[in-house]
Amino acid sequence: MKNYFQTCLNKSCYYFLFLCLGLYSPAGLAAEDEVAGRVVATRGAVTAVDVSGISRELERRSEIRVGDTIITQADSFAQIRMSDAAIIALKESSRFQVLAYSYDGDPANDISTMSLIEGGFRTITGAIGDGNQSAYTVQTPYASIGIRGTDHEAVITDAL
């Protein structure tokens, strides 16, 4: 009877361990915890949806994390200062995602990859764009944008 109880207890512990490991995602947690920038200003309804699908309202000084999708509603805008001092201004009715963002001052390791899903934005590049232009990209459903200067603007509208 003692062996049977010990065997059941061991199996239960193993199943619990595998369940915990299955639910734990180090890649998702690492990306979610990495702060890419902070909100400087907002007007109207501006939200961020993280990699797990949880939505939060954004206001001045709110953190923007790697993996966040920032959404501005009609008559809304957001201005964000990234960790490398880049400025991103999102227009109304926009969806913008931070796919990868890491700045440690080493141009070989710095990366800025973002995606404009819909709407529009204007940006002034920071240290990542200045140090290594190939490390900075903005993806859209139609093209990938690299930089040739210090500021640029993109808008996606419905085709007529």
Query: What CATH number should be reported for the domain holding residue 102?
Result: 2.60.120
Same domain for 19 and 8, yes or no, is yes
List the domain range (segments joined by +) for residue 113: 35-156
- Tell me the average confidence (pLDDT) per consecutive run of 10 residues in the chain, 160 residues long: 65 54 48 82 96 95 96 96 95 95 89 92 87 84 62 63
Please state the domain count of the chain.
2
**pLDDT of the residue at 30:** 45
Same domain for 76 and 147, yes or no, is yes
**pLDDT of the residue at 146:** 58
Same domain for 25 and 46, yes or no, is no
Same domain for 51 and 27, yes or no, is no
Same domain for 28 and 54, yes or no, is no
Q: Is 90 exposed, middle or buried (0-12, 13-18, 19+ CB in 10 A)?
A: buried
**pLDDT of the residue at 55:** 97
In whole angstroms, what is the distance from residue 50 CA to residue 83 CA? Answer: 18
Look at residue 142 and give its three-state secondary structure: coil
Same domain for 66 and 141, yes or no, is yes
Q: Up-side HSE of residue 155: CA atoms within 13 Å toward CB?
A: 6
**Which DSSP string do the residues of 96-121 spell out, in sequence order?**
EEEEEEE-SS-TTT-EEEEEEEEEEE
- The reported pTM is 0.73
Same domain for 82 and 133, yes or no, is yes
Per DSSP, 42 falls in state E
Most distant CA atoms of the chain, gap in Å: 76
Give whole-number Cα distances, 105 to 114, 123, 152, in Å.
Answer: 19, 20, 22
Same domain for 8 and 67, yes or no, is no
Angle of CA points 127, 81, 113, to nearest 5°: 60
Same domain for 74 and 97, yes or no, is yes
- Helices and strands of the chain, counted as H and E runs: 3, 12
Same domain for 99 and 147, yes or no, is yes
**pLDDT of the residue at 89:** 95
Same domain for 123 and 51, yes or no, is yes
Same domain for 91 and 135, yes or no, is yes
Q: Is 51 exposed, middle or buried (0-12, 13-18, 19+ CB in 10 A)?
A: middle
